[in-house]
Amino acid sequence: MRSSRQKAGISCLIVLVFILVGGCTTHLNKFDVKDPQPEPADKIPIAITLIMDNDICQFKVLEKRQGNKRFFHIGQAICENVQNLFSHNFASVEILHNASEADTRKSDAIAHMKIIEASVVTRSRIPLVIDSVVVLEWSVTNQDGKILYTNTLKGVGQDVRTFGGMKTRLKTSMQRCLNDLMQKFYEDMLVVKRLGLHS
């Protein structure tokens, strides 16, 4: 029979192999939706079709560190945030999840979204620094496909606390990033309203 010391040694070896080979996988969900700004009295006076496909709404970011994998499911929050912004700033909004379903006869313009970059980086410093970045490109075209407006927005977030659970700190960093991205999107909407959309 194995001694208790041998059993303890085997248990430690199994744990070590799991950490080195398998690690663990964490899923971070339910990011907050930023409260929309007060609804403006003068909306952009056009009917627009907003395409929010699964590439956006089901988007997730993978972060790897020391054999561990963490998935940040940010797509749903981005979709809801963008839909709120459009509903608050355009006179009429039709939301579709497939570009092929768009009927340009029903709208004056079509808005497209694309995530260009998304990352979470943990820097081994004292205190530990967690940086999150999401880059979103958006464009508005007319019925003929001519680009009326396009811009690329970069959201950044960081957590530099000395104390706190790692999962909480990672989520805080990404939440700040999404809040920053949506604030910049809102400010870009004001630019569109000021310049207008001319075909």
pLDDT in tens, the chain (199 residues): 555 555 445 444 444 443 444 468 778 777 887 766 766 778 888 899 999 988 899 999 887 776 778 899 999 999 999 999 999 899 999 999 877 776 666 789 999 999 999 999 988 777 889 999 999 999 999 888 899 999 999 999 999 887 778 888 899 999 999 999 999 999 998 888 888 876 5
Give residue 195's region: left, alpha or beta (phi > 0; psi -120 to 50): alpha
Amino acid at 4: S
Containing 117, the helix (H) or strand (E) segment is strand 109-123
Q: Is 32 helix (H, G, I), strand (E, B) or coil?
A: coil
Tokens of 50: 């907003």
**44-51, strands of its sheet edge to edge:** 90-96, 44-51, 109-123, 129-141, 147-159
- Structure tokens of 31? 């990011």
Q: Are 175 and 181 in contact (CB under 8 A)?
A: no
Order of strands across the sheet with 68-73?
A: 25-28, 68-73, 60-65
d(CA 81, CA 31): 11
Q: Residue 5: what pLDDT?
A: 56
pLDDT value at residue 2:
53
**Chain centre distance of CA 148:** 24
What pLDDT score does 18 carry?
A: 38
CB burial of 127-141 (b: ≥16 within 10 Å; e: otherwise) equals eebbbbbbbbebbbb
Domains delineated in the chain: 24-30+45-195 (3.40.50.10610)
Find the angle CA(31)-CA(37)-CA(43) to the nearest 5 degrees. 125
